[in-house]
Structure 1
Amino acid sequence: MKENPCMRTFQNKLFFTLVTCLAWSVATLAKEVEDTKAWEKEVPENKQDLLAIQTKLQSVLTKAKEAVVAVQSGGGAGSGVIVSKDGLVLTAGHISGRPGRSVKIVLPDGRRVDAVTLGGSEISDSGMCRIKEEGEWPFSPMAEKGKSQVGDWCFALGHPGGFFEKRGMVMRIGRVIHKRHATLRTDCRLLGGDSGGPLFNLDGEVIGIHSRIAMTDDANFHAPIESYHEHWDLFKEGQMISRRDLQKGGFLGVGTEETEEGLKILDLVKESAADKGGILEADVIIAIDGEPIDSQEELFIVVGSREPDDEVVIDLRRGKKELTITLKLGKRPE
């Protein structure tokens, strides 16, 4: 039978179309895999990785900015983020202060609305407010507990220096460099006025709230979102977690300073657990019971969460040597 030339032409076109579609699908899949892996790599390997991270950030930034606010109280100002459609605002504990205070929330378009402060924690520096005006507010979702990990890319939003409508909020990108129960550290650069603002992952979820600037401006502290999950109902009810709650616990008896070396011992309380246990001035605390200690906050929490007479194992750096000391915690002096 003689072959139909029209049929041959159709078959050739069909084959070409199928090959083209297959090649496009493979290329698209490879591109998606490459992009997905870009922000999961320890270090971006090339320009394409950086562009993939940039594209991912741009895809969530616009929506994230809609929920970021300024918090004004008296002569002070900070930042915050709306996390529920009925107007719950997360901020830093030192911004919200005691429960029941009246504050102003400044929305991205410059509109000001009344709010009242709710509960918070002096330990993690977490705070909460509620917008009084009824309505459905734009909000950002909170990440689940444990989702953020060391090495994750993140971005910070806030109003450094206060709210300026023409300038708008400021965005900085970085990575999570340290995470513990009550503290999270990143290399996102923060300035005064950023306190209380949100830290986002690249899925547009809130993973922390800006707390304070460290010794270097590229290592900053945030209250992890876990501290809000853990005490959500208590905060909404206007309850506070104070340092007094931990002052009833164990007592080490050291004065410390956060340095680039770590948490350095400046002085010792005479006859305290630290003094009796062999800790010396200028020692650097590395860990307690295997839990790394990088800040005064972490030391306070770890020691205060234990009881007087509890035995702890402390890893120290003394000069160029590392050593381990086991001692019993004391009781805080009256």
Structure 2
Amino acid sequence: MFKASFKSYLSGVAALLLMSQALVAKAELPDFTGLVEAASPAVVNISTTQKLPDRGVAQSQMPDLEGLPPMLREFLERGMPQQGPNAPKGRQREAQSLGSGFIISDDGYVLTNNHVVADADEILVRMPDRSELKATLIGADPRTDVALLKIDGKNLPTVKIGNSEALKVGEWVLAIGSPFGFDHSATSGIVSAKGRSLPNESYVPFIQTDVAINPGNSGGPLFNLKGEVVGINSQIFTRSGGFMGLSFAIPIDVAMDVANQLKTDGKVSRGWLGVVIQEVNKDLAESFGLDKPAGALVAQVLDNGPAAAGGLKVGDVILSLNGQPIVMSADLPHLVGAMKSGSKVKLEVAREGQRKTLELTVGALPAEGEEMSMGGAEEGVERSSNRLGVKVVELTAEQKKSLDLQGGVVIREVLDGPAALIGLRPGDVITHLNNQSIDSAKTFTEVAQQLPKNRSVSMRVLRQGRASFITFKLSE
């Protein structure tokens, strides 16, 4: 009898434990129903129309429909552009796109992505009640992929704006948008990372999530559990064209700053140092005497820019800005771009094995297409060859002036050897070798002869006006 009672007791305890675990698990999962109900009225669908001239289709590009069943052939012919003298004249094709957006003010200001409305001749905003309103483009910023629209209205539903800086990795988030045109689709996930940098996106520290985002979600809001917008869904990483668990959102702090500037000034201004930087990898860190790969390596200082005026030099590694560490080189554009022109900044740099602090005045980022650039080098007279397997020539006075250089040598010929293995080409200009400035072919040869074996050595190379540091090791 005792055994039966004890077994019954154990069964009861086990049942209670299972029930409590189920309740805890259920309690930990968020309930999004209230959030979706409250936020959805301010989320809109955006469609655009772009009128394109009808170029027609060349006869040689027309598919061969001979031999197909009559009904299938008739169907395909209806969908093909008309050719020949009976084709309508002056027709225009219409390119359409779909995206999402959200209302940020009750008088009708709407945020979305620039790529959703770029080059559009007409922008339509479809409200939750299915009514459609024409939108005016107030302004757009391709560098952050943010656009500000305006629709006519009063007392419109709006979203609550949150603080993306306070967002934490692992936090639950929810997206509402129109993937593939399905209005007000809600998907949830967590914040996977913050401050992500993407290729060709220097001024946005993206929020990475695993929220299901697909074409049509672009421009839609990303909410935290408080129902506040913390980001604008902008990009996905995909190999198939669909969701793969890597989604990226523009932080709302960045987007609202852009929107306010577009609304007030019609354009966006950003801070600028006037440098070309690159990542510090393990080999570069070793060659510059750093304990670990970190910081932003200055590969080029643009003439008359803020960095040049503040004493920043090629080969400096920027370790922090106003006390904030620069872990990845991509951290620097995010921080500088958020500053106003005229702001004072303190940079901690590593230079020739020592730490220095420089104070610079931030400039204004030039408009696209107006950035300062440097020209290419021309051939000169051969003066030197060396153990790297290159023949170099000294730069002429004209070349130095066009490149804004005090010294350097240009490669005339690449022979078999280390230079060929690391990808050097004729026309490349070498300005630094093993952390030493190269002012002549003679200096280059002397430095090359003294290069250490089996240790990372850095070399600064200009190719078509773009500078970068590369590393290599000599085995003999």
CA distance in structure 2 between the aligned counterparts of 1:313 and 1:185, rounded to whole angstroms? 30
Aligned residue in 1 for 2:221: 198
Which residue of 21, 25, 31 corresponds with 1:56? 31
Aligned residue in 2 for 1:158: 177
Quick check: 1:212–1:221 contact (8 Å CA) kept in 2? yes
CA distance in structure 1 between the aligned counterparts of 2:222 and 2:47, rounded to whole angstroms? 20
| 2:193 counterpart letter in structure 1 | H
Quick check: 2:258–2:268 contact (8 Å CA) kept in 1? no
Choose 64-73 or 191-200, whichever is displaced more: 64-73
Q: Secondary structure at the match of 2:40?
A: helix
Aligned residue in 2 for 1:137: 156
| 1:223 counterpart letter in structure 2 | I
Using the TM superposition, give the Cα deviation of residue 108 of structure 1 relative to its aligned residue in structure 2, in angstroms.
2.5
The answer to whether structure 1 residue 214 and structure 2 residue 242 are counterparts is no
Answer 1 or 2: higher relative contact order, Cα 8 Å, separation at least 6: 1
Using the TM superposition, give the Cα deviation of residue 304 of structure 1 relative to its aligned residue in structure 2, in angstroms.
6.1
Quick check: 2:146–2:258 contact (8 Å CA) kept in 1? no
Using the TM superposition, give the Cα deviation of residue 102 of structure 1 relative to its aligned residue in structure 2, in angstroms.
4.2
Structure 1 unmatched runs, 5+: 1-44, 257-267, 280-285, 315-324
Which residue of 311, 314, 325 corresponds with 1:290? 325
| 2:212 counterpart letter in structure 1 | R
Q: Cα gap change, 1:303/1:60 in structure 2, threshold over 3 Å: closer, same or farther?
A: closer
After TM superposition, what 4+ stretches of structure 1 lie above 4 angstroms from structure 2? 253-256, 286-289, 302-307, 310-314
Using the TM superposition, give the Cα deviation of residue 113 of structure 1 relative to its aligned residue in structure 2, in angstroms.
1.0
Using the TM superposition, give the Cα deviation of residue 124 of structure 1 relative to its aligned residue in structure 2, in angstroms.
2.9
Quick check: 1:119–1:234 contact (8 Å CA) kept in 2? no
Q: Cα gap change, 1:305/1:128 in structure 2, threshold over 3 Å: closer, same or farther?
A: closer
| 1:68 counterpart letter in structure 2 | V
Q: Secondary structure at the match of 1:240?
A: coil
Percent of aligned pairs with the same residue? 26
Using the TM superposition, give the Cα deviation of residue 222 of structure 1 relative to its aligned residue in structure 2, in angstroms.
0.9
Q: Secondary structure at the match of 2:133?
A: strand
| 2:137 counterpart letter in structure 1 | T
Quick check: 2:261–2:268 contact (8 Å CA) kept in 1? no
CA distance in structure 2 between the aligned counterparts of 1:46 and 1:277, rounded to whole angstroms? 58
Quick check: 2:45–2:178 contact (8 Å CA) kept in 1? yes
Instruction: Give TM-score scaled by structure 1 length.
Output: 0.60
Q: Cα gap change, 1:301/1:143 in structure 2, threshold over 3 Å: closer, same or farther?
A: closer
Aligned residue in 1 for 2:102: 81
Q: Max radius of gyration: which structure?
A: 2
The answer to whether structure 1 residue 118 and structure 2 residue 133 are counterparts is no
Q: How does 1:238-257 map to 2 (within 5 A)?
A: 239-241=266-268, 245=270, 249-252=273-276, 254=278
CA distance in structure 2 between the aligned counterparts of 1:123 and 1:313, rounded to whole angstroms? 27
Which residue of 80, 90, 95 corresponds with 2:111? 90
| 1:128 counterpart letter in structure 2 | L
| 2:101 counterpart letter in structure 1 | G
CA distance in structure 1 between the aligned counterparts of 2:21 and 2:114, rounded to whole angstroms? 40
Quick check: 2:124–2:133 contact (8 Å CA) kept in 1? yes
Quick check: 1:250–1:303 contact (8 Å CA) kept in 2? no
Aligned residue in 1 for 2:334: 301
Q: CA RMSD in A?
A: 4.4
CA distance in structure 1 between the aligned counterparts of 2:251 and 2:333, rounded to whole angstroms? 17
